Chains A and B, each alone.
Chain A
Amino acid sequence: MSLVFAGVCSHAPGITGRAKRADPRLRDAFYAKLGELRARLEAAEPDALIVIAAEHFANFFMNNMPAYCVGMADGYEGPIEDEQWLGIARRAVPGNADLSRRVIGALLEEIDVAYAEEWKFDHGIMVPLHFLTPRYDVPVIPVNINCQGPPLTPLARAYEFGRALRRACDAQPERVALLGTGGISHWPATPDSGVINEAWDREFLARFVANDRASLISYTDEETLRDAGQGGFEIRTFLAVAGATEGATGELMFYAPIPIFAVGCTVATMTVR
């Protein structure tokens, strides 16, 4: 078949871990849109879900840091975090090693990706799954783009990775869904946690839903660090989804800064042509 769904959403640990402390009106509106994203994902009837995440030192460290890594196992587990702290119980998550192997093989024609047969999910994948596949009945293929330990892959390469991933998905008989998950502007896990640059976020999201490659790849890391914090580096996950849906535009379903979640909470889809 081919790619059948593409979306993005936020993954901040506060979304589940500090749920009770958020403005209920905003929180519930955000959760409702995540529910709508889930409905759209289910309507696409995916055989597997590729999650492009920006993990936070759960598996990869500066001793051997891949710019891009794809999981290749029949099962994963998560979260690595304290279950009470995150508000998500530790559990097994199904994978599909055979599909992973074929996708990775196709990717390697164009992009030098690493692969991993072991992978423990952190909040970056578990929070989206908690809302989007709460029965954990869709096999997941995790993808990581290093957004934490510079030097980082350039934005143009993240877009190119998305393009290659699209071709790799389209070459498979399965129905594959794609989810990108990252923060936009945020300063997570620092004393400035909760600071959100809403104007920067809205400008970025306008570029994203327009799938305007030139403007999406125009940010320098220095600008992003200054205006959007170190968490802003995670826009690479959005760029990969934009690359995978090049030529199509998207729909911003929800955006609202929720400071106790430490991020501008976002839900969006891209049309898959």
Chain B
Amino acid sequence: MSLYYVQKLLFELNRDPLVRKRFETARDELLAEYELTAEERAAILAEDIGLLYVLGVNGQLLMHYSALIGQRWDEYIAAMRAGVEKHGPVRAGLYSMLKDRR
């Protein structure tokens, strides 16, 4: 797992217009600068919010990223739920300690 670096990438994407520009124009080159597993890299390339949530990305990073890629609120919530349905419970990070409230 390199959850730290997935989150760092999203942190920098969310707040830095230059990183956002590189994400659009040179995504492979940008991603090479972060120590990502193949699964993490694929999730980022596919903008797969559900898988990123299951991998343990903090929702405060994921929510901003979701807005950045143009998702509406309900799409964001649905994507996380679909991710858990498909991939199982959150695997790491703070959210893996939360019990299911539903």
- In the complex, whether B61 has a CB less than 8 A from a CB of chain A is yes
**Among residues 69 to 102 in chain B, which have CB atoms less than 8 Å away from a CB atom of chain A?**
73, 77, 80-81, 84, 94-95, 97-102
- In the complex, whether A168 has a CB less than 8 A from a CB of chain B is no
Which chain A residues border B101 with CB–CB below 8 Å?
A: 187, 192, 195, 229
A120–B11 Cα distance when bound, in Å, is 13
- In the complex, whether A43 has a CB less than 8 A from a CB of chain B is no
Contact A189 B8 (CB under 8 A): no
Q: With A18-B73, A191-B77 in contact, do A230 and B14 touch (Cβ < 8 Å)?
A: no
Contact A150 B94 (CB under 8 A): yes
- B interface SS class: helix
- In the complex, whether A85 has a CB less than 8 A from a CB of chain B is yes
- In the complex, whether B22 has a CB less than 8 A from a CB of chain A is no
Stretch at the interface among A1-9, A28-36, A58-66, A107-115: A58-66
Could you pull out 29 A-B pairs where Cβ atoms are within 8 angstroms? A13-B63, A17-B73, A56-B61, A56-B63, A57-B7, A57-B11, A57-B58, A57-B60, A57-B64, A58-B15, A59-B15, A81-B64, A81-B67, A82-B67, A120-B15, A187-B98, A188-B59, A189-B58, A189-B63, A190-B53, A190-B95, A190-B98, A191-B77, A192-B98, A193-B77, A225-B98, A226-B99, A229-B101, A230-B95
Across the A-B interface, the 9 shortest Cβ-Cβ residue pairs: A189-B59, A56-B60, A189-B63, A85-B67, A192-B101, A82-B67, A191-B80, A191-B81, A195-B101
